[in-house]
Amino acid sequence: MIKTLIKSTRMTWASKNANMFLLALTYAYFSNTPIDNPLQILGGLVMVSVLWGALYTLNDLTDLDVDRRDRQKQNRAFIENRVEKEFILLFVGILTSAVFIISFLAFPPAFTIIISLMLINQLIYTLPPIRLKETSLAPFFSTATNSVLRLASCAALLGNVFLVPLSVYIFMYLAGMGTYLMYKSHSKDASLVAIMGGGVLLYMLYSGDMNIIQFAVAILPSFLAAVPLYLSLFTNKESMFHLADILYHQVAMVFFIICIIVIIF
């Protein structure tokens, strides 16, 4: 049972958190902002990842009936192995409580507020009666909002949420929305959002809100991993999803962590 619960946290998906932490850290690096709390930043990355692990577990529980009918999700933890609902909720409660207790005691208030927003956003996205994931508003509150909050959480640990330019937050919001739309096979909407994101990217590069190195280390790896997602709109969906999962959640994850360690130490 414990193994199944741990699997449900999808810890390899912590690459999303590492990616956004790395992007925020590049702004500290290039602005010569001193990083005097490297262990707290690593701890924050762990905290955000544990919180998201709990939220992924909760998501799998609420989607259980739907996932059973989806051939691509037959390897989800609670489909492969049955776990009682009470134990799942207890597991989620313990992880979430631990994250917030530690955050209140050892992290800045701004960080605690941002992870609280992560929790609230995901609860209204996942749980009835609101359950935004089953409404037309889903693209606006899923990966898009989550990417912005992940980025802001690291910026808060660096002492200033606006260390990261507003245009970068907008770009990551659009990138997250595009990823969601590609995953859901909404090709026209995904292409439109991609064009908007490309325009914001050109603005960032032209205005100096992002330099080439930042683009290369924080944006390019996730962009390359997103290529199979876009191709899935026109070709074998299952194989492209699997390739994207390997590229982003495994290969890019190692790269992100190495870069983070180099910057903060």
Token output for 109: 């208030």
Q: Residue 107 has what DSSP assignment? A: S
Query: How many CB atoms neighbour CB 100 within 10 A?
Result: 17
Which of 124, 56, 130, 62 shows the shortest CA–CA distance to 96? Answer: 56
Token output for 9: 């946290």
pTM (two decimals) = 0.91
Q: Where are the beta strands (DSSP E) in the chain?
A: none
- pLDDT tens digits in sequence order for the chain, 265 residues long: 778 888 889 888 899 999 999 999 999 999 999 999 999 999 999 999 999 999 999 988 887 766 666 666 556 666 666 778 888 899 999 999 999 999 999 999 999 999 999 999 999 999 988 999 989 999 999 889 999 999 999 999 999 999 999 999 999 999 999 888 887 878 889 889 999 999 999 999 999 999 999 988 878 877 777 778 777 767 777 778 777 778 788 888 899 999 999 999 9
Gyration radius of the chain's alpha carbons: 18
Q: Domain of 197: which CATH number?
A: 1.10.600
Q: Which domain holds residue 235?
A: 2-264
Token output for 50: 């544990």
Domain tally for the chain? 1
